[in-house]
Chain A
C-alpha cells in the first residue's frame, strides 16, 4: 500500500498543531536555569554547520552536521555491530569529524525499563555524567539508541521540573568532579540521517528504486517527550514522524504503509530477555505478518536497537511454525550505507542478523556470495596474525 496521505489527513484522530495545546518549549526553563548558574547548556560549537529540522509542534530543532560525540548503544555495539559501524562509516564518507569515546557508559535504561533496579537520581546521574563528558571533550552528543534518546529526554524533563532532583544529582556530580550539563538539543542519530538525507542521496551508488520498504517507528523515539521528534509536513502529511521514511524516500525506495504502524515491536525490555514468547508472538503477529500481508516489503527499516533486534530475531521461530514471516530487517543507517556502496559484511555486518537479507541484497545488485568470500579472506588474515584488526581503509578495499 503506498502512503495514503489524503486519507490520513481526513481521519478524525488526525494530529493537528493546536496553538492552545502546544507544550511549553523546554528551552525557556533550560536557559533560565543556566542564567541562574544551576547548570551549563552545551551549545553546538560555533562554526559547525547546522541543519534546522521541523518537530512535532513546529519548533525548529538544530542538528549539527559534524564534530559529534557518539553516544553508542550497548545493544547495537554488542549484538548488531553493523548498526554502529554504518553510522560511523556514513559520517566518515560525508567528511564530518567525530569522537568515538571510551569514557561513555550505557544510558542503562534498558535495564531500568526491564528490572527497575535503579532510581531516577541514578538514571539522571548516569545521563549527566555522559553529557558532562561530551561537554568536556568539546564534541556535541549524538545519541545512537532510541531508548537512550527517549530516556534522556525524560531525564531532562524531570531535572528541569524538580529542584530536589537537581540538588540530589548535583551532590553526585560534585563527587565525580563533573559539571551539571545538558545539551541545547538531544539529538538522535536518525535525526542526523534525516537532516543529511540529501547529502547521503548525492553519494548514492546503488539504485534502490525497486526496493519496497516498511518502516517501524521506534516508540521511545516519538512517544516519550514527543515534542523533540521530527515531524515534517511533507512526509505522511506530518501525521507520523518523518525520520527513516524521509531518508528511504530520498534514496529512491518505495515506502509502503501498514495498519499496525503505531504498535510497538514487542521488545518489552525484560520480555526480549526472559519472556521471549511474548516478544516473538507480538513481533510476528502484530508487525511482520501484517507488513507482509498488507505491504509485502523487501526490507523493514527501523531506527532503534531494540526494534531491529526484536523484528529480526523473532522471525526464526515463527518460520519454523510456518507463519508468514521472512523479511530482512535493518536500521536505516545500514540501508543508507548500502546505498552509498558500503560492503554488506565488512561495514554493515549483516552476518550478525538472522532474518534472510540475501534476496534484498540481490535486488540491490549486490553479489553477496562474492562479498562473503571477500569478508572471509580478510578474516583469514586476522586469523593468520597478518593483521590484528581491520581498519576503515581495509573495509573499503
Chain B
C-alpha cells in the first residue's frame, strides 16, 4: 500500500498495535463490547470497501495521522486491541463534521468516533482526561447555565489569535449587550436569558439520564461542583428524585 504523504516531522502512528500492555485484553474487550452494544452502532457500520473516500473528505486526516477508514475497519474486524489504541490515540482528532457520511457503504465513521468517545469518557481513559483538560469550564457552563457560549468568554487572553476585536468586545461587554435589540440578549454570562424553571428541567435531564455521572471519572472536582449546584437547586424547589 502506498504511504500517505504527511507533514515532515509529524508524529506517525505505527501500523502495529503497540503499547497499552498494562491493560488486559479482557478490559479492552469490555470497552469494545460497550461500543458495539450502543444502539446506534448497527446504523453506523455496514462493512467497509476500503475505498478511502472517507479519508479523502476528512479534514482531520489532512492535518493529523488520523483515518476514518481505519476507524471503520477496526470496528468491522472487531479488532479489540486496535480499537483500544484508537480510543487512546485517535478519536479526539476527529472534527465531528460528518463529511465521511459520503461513504458509499453507508458507514458513519464519525458516528463510531462519537460512541468511542462516550465510552472513553465513561471509563475515564487517559485520552479523555487529556482531551478534556482545559475544557472543564465549558462543561460547567453548558451543564449549569443551559447555554454553552457566553459573551464573557470573549477574553483577549483566551483568544489572542482572534484579533483586537476580542478586546474591544470584552472592554465594552455590558454596554454592547444592552445595545442589542432582542430583549433576551442583554446577558453577559449566558448566551441568552434562560428562565429558572428551564434550568431546573435541564438539571433533571442531566441527573436522570446519567449524563452528569459520565464526567465523574474524567473530572472528579467538576463532577462534585456540578452535582452540588444541581442538587441544591432541586432541593430548594422541593423536587425529589
Contacts and interface: CB of A to CB of B under 8 A. Distances in A.
Interface of A: 72-79, 81, 84-85, 88-89, 100-106, 108, 110-122, 125-126, 129, 133, 150, 158, 161-162, 164-165, 168, 171-172, 175-176, 178, 219-220, 223-224, 226, 262-264, 266-271, 273-274, 276, 278, 280-282, 286, 313, 316-317, 346-347, 349, 351-354, 375, 378-379, 382-383, 388-392, 394-395
Interface in B113-153: 114, 117-118, 120-121, 128, 131-132, 134-135, 138-139, 142, 146-151, 153
Contacts, number: 259
Contacts of B209: 119, 121-122, 125, 168, 172
Contacts of B46: none
Given A119-B214, A273-B138, A81 B180 contact: yes
A108 B211 CA distance: 12
Interface size class of B (residues with CB under 8 A): 35 or more
Given A84-B182, A223-B99, A349-B180, 4 more contacts: A78-B190, A264-B97, A392-B181, A395-B181
Nearest to B139: A117
Contacts of B149: 74-75, 77-79, 110
A149 to B, nearest CB: 13
Nearest to A110: B148
B220 interface: no
- Dominant secondary structure at the B interface: helix
Nearest to B241: A175
Given A75-B149, A114-B138, A346-B179, A176 B204 contact: yes
| A115, A178, A224, A378: residue with the most chain B Cβ atoms closer than 10 Å | A115
A101 B192 CA distance: 9
A112 B184 CA distance: 24
A105 B146 contact: yes
A388 B96 CA distance: 41
B101 A224 contact: yes
Given A129-B202, A316-B162, A263 B40 contact: no
B121 A115 contact: yes
B83 to A, nearest CB: 16
B165 A269 contact: no
Interface string B186-221: 100011111101110110111011110011001000
Nearest to A164: B39
Interface of B: 38-40, 43, 57, 59-60, 62-64, 92, 95-99, 101-102, 114, 117-118, 120-121, 128, 131-132, 134-135, 138-139, 142, 146-151, 153-154, 159, 161-163, 165-166, 168-169, 172, 175-186, 190-195, 197-199, 201-202, 204-206, 208-211, 214-215, 218
Contact of A263 (B59, B165, B190): B59
Contact of B191 (A72, A165, A317): A72
A391 B169 contact: no
A389 B142 contact: no
5 contacts: A77-B184, A88-B182, A111-B139, A178-B201, A264-B97
